[in-house]
């Protein structure tokens, strides 16, 4: 039985807790964990995040946000699933990656589908995956298909179905809109700098020691080798001019002599307050484990 769908307005770029350590790590790549392995990634003043099955990085967050910004159509079901129709080629171009590198893109989406995320704050708990499933529509998804005249043509669209967990986060957490700054974030050379920018953009004001901020993000830990620690700090310093010019993020000494990060809310960023959630849902939102793709999907946008 098909679900009655509703057209959905543009969703926020992200939520505050997703950018404050643990969900998307401040690295480009991460080796996958063993199946069903639990990895406690980050615990800081904003809560605790646990990832299962694999670890997500800034690469995954870049892709997720690029899909949302470049969505051709969005549709929402009453159960909280959100169907997003997008062009893989357009998203790859937006990310400045070869537009035929579909295998790489779909591998990253597989990670977002497989990873089980557990978030615990002082006010709420949430558990689920970002992506419920993805499927090929009749209009194709990122490969060569027969054209009407018998020639081969590039398929244009794929539909990604976001898990109800994806919507629930935007209800219990502060939603953040920084769509207009995303191109500048993607141009940053280092993943740790991308994570630092996203962290700052979720605040009205930041006045924090650089080392403490990087620790909160999970970039630096107690067992991080000194050489690696120095390289991470260097990566941030190397982009200090861009941080100030494009995001208003200053890197300078604090009153106690430590190196600090200073930021005041960017005029192109805006927030949505958490929304009322039915009492039975709180304090914990339990979404299902990631679900495999199936042929009975009812979330595909209208075919054209």
Please indicate whether residue 73 or residue 267 has the higher confidence score (pLDDT): 267
What pLDDT score was predicted for residue 148?
55
Closest by CA position to 199, among listed 189, 280, 187, 212 = 212
Please indicate whether residue 148 or residue 112 has the higher confidence score (pLDDT): 112
Question: 9-18, 28-37, 87-96: which has the highest mean pLDDT?
Answer: 87-96
Q: How far apart are the first and last CA of the chain?
A: 22
- What pTM, to 2 d.p., does this model score? 0.84
What pLDDT score was predicted for residue 292?
43
Domain map of the chain by residue range? 7-177, 183-269
Task: Please give the CATH topology (third level) of the domain spanning 183-269.
Answer: Arc Repressor Mutant, subunit A (1.10.10)
290 class by beta-carbon count within 10 Å (0-12 exposed, 13-18 middle, 19+ buried): buried
Sheet arrangement for strand 125-128: 38-44, 47-52, 116-120, 125-128, 284-286
The C-alpha angle 103, 151, 157, rounded to 5 degrees, equals 40
Please indicate whether residue 171 or residue 219 has the higher confidence score (pLDDT): 219
Which residues lie closer than 8 Å to 221 by C-beta, 6 or more apart? 215
Distance CA 251, CA 237 (A): 8
Mean pLDDT of the chain: 83
Local confidence band at 298 (pLDDT 50, 70, 90 cut-offs): very low
């Amino acid at each position: 039985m098909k679900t009655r769908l509703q057209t959905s307005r543009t969703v926020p770029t992200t939520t505050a807790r997703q950018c404050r350590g643990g969900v998307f790590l401040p690295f480009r790549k991460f080796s996958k964990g063993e199946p069903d392995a639990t990895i406690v990634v980050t615990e800081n003043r904003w809560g605790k995040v646990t990832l299962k099955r694999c670890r997500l990085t800034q690469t995954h967050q870049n892709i997720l946000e690029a899909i949302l910004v470049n969505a051709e159509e969005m549709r929402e079901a009453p159960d909280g699933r959100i169907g997003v129709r997008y062009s893989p080629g357009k998203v790859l171009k937006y990310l400045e990656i070869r537009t035929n590198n579909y295998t790489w893109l779909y591998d990253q989406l597989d990670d977002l589908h497989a990873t089980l995320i557990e978030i615990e704050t002082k006010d709420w708990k949430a558990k689920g995956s970002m992506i419920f499933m993805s499927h090929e529509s009749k209009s194709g998804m990122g490969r060569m298909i027969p054209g009407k005249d018998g020639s081969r043509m590039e398929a244009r669209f794929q539909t990604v179905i976001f898990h109800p967990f994806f919507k629930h986060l935007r209800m219990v957490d502060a939603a953040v809109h920084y769509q207009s700054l995303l191109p500048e974030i993607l141009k940053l050379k280092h993943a740790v700098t991308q994570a630092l920018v996203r962290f700052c953009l979720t605040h009205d004001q930041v006045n924090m020691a650089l080392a403490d901020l990087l620790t909160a993000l999970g970039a630096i830990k107690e067992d991080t080798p000194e050489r690696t620690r120095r390289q991470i700090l260097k990566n941030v310093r190397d982009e200090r001019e861009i941080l100030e010019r494009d995001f208003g993020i200053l890197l300078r000494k604090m009153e106690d002599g430590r190196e600090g990060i200073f930021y005041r809310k960017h005029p192109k960023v805006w927030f949505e307050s958490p929304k009322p959630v039915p009492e039975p849902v709180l304090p914990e939102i339990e979404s299902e484990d990631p679900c495999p793709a199936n042929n009975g999907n009812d979330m595909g946008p209208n075919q054209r």
